[in-house]
Amino acid sequence: MKFSTNSIVAIAAIVASGATTTQAFAPSHYPHRTSVSLYQSTEVSQESTPTTEKKPTKKEKRLQYMKDPNFHRKGFKEVRPNVEKTMETQFKSPLVDELKTSNYVIERDGVRVHLAKDFGFCWGVERSIALAYEAVEHFPGRTVHITNELIHNPEVNDNLQKMNVQFIEKLGEGKKDFSKVEDGDVVILPAFGASFEEMSLMNEKNVEVVDTTCPWVSKVWNTVDQHQRKGLTSVIHGKYGHEETIATTSFCEDYICVKDYKEAEMVADYIVNGGDKEAFLKYFEKAVSKGFDPDTMLDKVGLANQTTMYKKETRAIGQLMQKAMMKKFGPVDAKDHYLEFDTICDATQVSKIDLLSSIFYESSPA
């Protein structure tokens, strides 16, 4: 998989104007928002924290939780060889091996079977499974819980159940029953991550936390933290009910989620033309932060995404936001109103595109 680092995609208008993103995102005029130094770096810092005396941000608190000796992110070396063997037994398939050695296509009884060239778990998922399995082996005799499905794969979740991992019960409306988590237990956080509230709760309890969050997901959390510091509202391309987006929004202050380009157009239209505020808020009722005001909170926005969304659509939504800001504030000032970091994970995109293109290529007329 491609694993780009802290590259920043600045909008074309910013580049063209020669202005820096630091200049572009001076402190917001909104009184409720955190101000930011004009000299602050625009790089997506993974671990840095400011030294001012103000109330710590959610990111700063998360980093504090992660420093706790009971918080584990790197796995447990002594059980790794065993876990590697287990994973090989569970996930290795003779059929897949045959497909890979047959140019990714085989034919049986008149049925042609294609295999995507990038078939298999992405790096983040493989890491998450390994960390979860290692946690179970490293803490024998302890009750192990998981806050959600580890990944969206029934086989993997069934395996965890067979290993006696307890799935935290969902109570509806985003609530969960953590009452069964007791002192000394182990709690696994899944690949999509856990919300800020859940991390805070685990930090209060006397438990071992094993964090399997994919680093690409926490990179998005760092991005929304940057938005907050720069006085921007996060426009998140994602589904507000998806576990990953629930976690991401929990690290935001002001946000709006758009599930697709059509919803992004509604937001862009409101930015440019305003509109029926009540109807807008009714439509995005579950997709916005508490107290969201589209009349004041859409003046400066930054883009973030749910890592599983389609990359081309995320990019198109980014362009739509840029254009909306250009229309509203003019091409020169637009740079003060939109910011985009590259947080798109290529892993799922590659698999989807690869599978589709191989089938399309096969079925297209010569």
| Residue number, 299 or 342, with CB nearest to ligand SF4 | 342
What is the nearest approach in angstroms of ligand SF4 to the Cβ of residue 303? 16
What is the nearest approach in angstroms of ligand SF4 to the Cβ of residue 48? 22
What is the nearest approach in angstroms of ligand SF4 to the Cβ of residue 93? 20
The region that residue 166 occupies, defined by phi over 0 for left and psi between -120 and 50 for alpha, beta otherwise, is: beta
| Residue number, 156 or 191, with CB nearest to ligand SF4 | 191
How far from each other are the two terminal CA atoms of the chain, in whole angstroms?
31
| Residue number, 127 or 205, with CB nearest to ligand SF4 | 127
**Phi/psi of residue 257, each to 5°?**
-100, 135
What is the nearest approach in angstroms of ligand SF4 to the Cβ of residue 214? 3
b/e burial code for range 9-43 (CB count within 10 A of at least 16 → b): bbbebbeebeeebeebbeebebeebbbbeeeeebe
Q: For the sheet containing 301-305, what is the strand order?
A: 255-258, 233-237, 301-305, 338-340
What is the nearest approach in angstroms of ligand SF4 to the Cβ of residue 288? 24
| Residue number, 86 or 307, with CB nearest to ligand SF4 | 307
| Residue number, 159 or 248, with CB nearest to ligand SF4 | 248
| Residue number, 190 or 302, with CB nearest to ligand SF4 | 190
* 276 contact partners, CB below 8 Å, separation of at least 6: none
What is the nearest approach in angstroms of ligand SF4 to the Cβ of residue 124? 2
Q: What is the CA radius of gyration of the chain?
A: 22
What is the nearest approach in angstroms of ligand SF4 to the Cβ of residue 4? 12
| Residue number, 248 or 348, with CB nearest to ligand SF4 | 348
Q: Which residue is nearest to ligand SF4 (CB)?
A: 124
Q: What gap in Å lies between CA 292 and CA 288, rounded to an integer?
A: 6
| Residues near ligand SF4 (CB under 6 A) | 122-125, 191, 214, 216-217, 307, 345, 347-348
Angstrom CA distances, 55 to 45, 58, 61, 324, 336, stand at: 19, 9, 10, 34, 26
**Phi/psi of residue 7, each to 5°?**
-65, 145
* 71 contact partners, CB below 8 Å, separation of at least 6: 65, 209, 211
**Active-site position among 244, 253, 263, 340:** 244
Q: Catalytic annotation on 244?
A: yes
Active-site residue list: 244
